[in-house]
């Protein structure tokens, strides 16, 4: 299973709102993530920085494609735009993949 990690920044003072929105993640968004083969998804924060990690049942390229083509994800991105600063890869439309520098199994 392919692993995917990303980072983003929360607008100052918005971490509690970010958490609230994710606590109420719409079922339609959960379905897109499931259909994309995304599992074991976790997001951490320190200060205003976010670090996300998930695993891709069908590969990161497939997960990015499903998300990039989804009107649900576009709607979610618009909903989050006022509290989240996130780069998007111009090719995949996904968050830029962090480069792995260490693994310990």
Domain ranges for the chain, please list them.
2-85
Predicted TM-score (pTM) of this structure: 0.87
Tokens of 20: 């609230």
- Domain at 2-85, CATH from 3.30.70.20, 3.40.640.10, 3.40.50.300, 3.30.70.100: 3.30.70.100
- Which pLDDT value is given to residue 96? 75
Cα 39 → chain centroid: 11
- Which pLDDT value is given to residue 97? 78
Whether residue 83 has pLDDT greater than 90: yes
Tens digits of residue pLDDT in 1-38: 999 999 999 999 999 999 999 999 999 999 999 999 99
What's the CA gap between 9 and 42, in Å, rounded? 16
Per DSSP bridges, beta strands 84-85 and 38-46 are unpaired
- Which pLDDT value is given to residue 40? 97
What's the CA gap between 57 and 1, in Å, rounded? 5
- Which pLDDT value is given to residue 21? 97
Residues counted in the chain:
105
- Which pLDDT value is given to residue 92? 74
Catalytic residue among 7, 22, 74, 75: 22
| DSSP H or E stretch at residue 29 | helix 27-35
The more confident residue out of 17 and 96 is 17
CB of 34 within 8 A of CB of 46? no
With H, G, I as helix, E, B as strand and everything else as coil, classify residue 37: coil
Confidence class for position 89, pLDDT limits 50, 70, 90:
confident
Beta bridge partners of 44: 51
- Residue 22 is a catalytic residue: yes
């Amino acid at each position: 299973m392919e692993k995917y990690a990303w980072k983003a920044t929360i607008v100052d003072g918005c971490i509690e709102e970010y958490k609230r929105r994710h606590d109420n993640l719409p079922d339609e968004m959960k379905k897109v993530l499931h259909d994309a083969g995304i599992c074991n998804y976790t997001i951490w924060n320190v200060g205003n920085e976010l670090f996300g990690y998930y695993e891709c049942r069908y590969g990161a390229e497939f997960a990015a494609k499903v998300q990039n083509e989804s009107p649900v994800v576009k709607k979610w991105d618009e909903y989050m735009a006022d509290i989240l600063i996130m780069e998007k890869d111009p090719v995949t439309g996904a968050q830029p993949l962090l480069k792995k520098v260490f693994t310990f199994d």
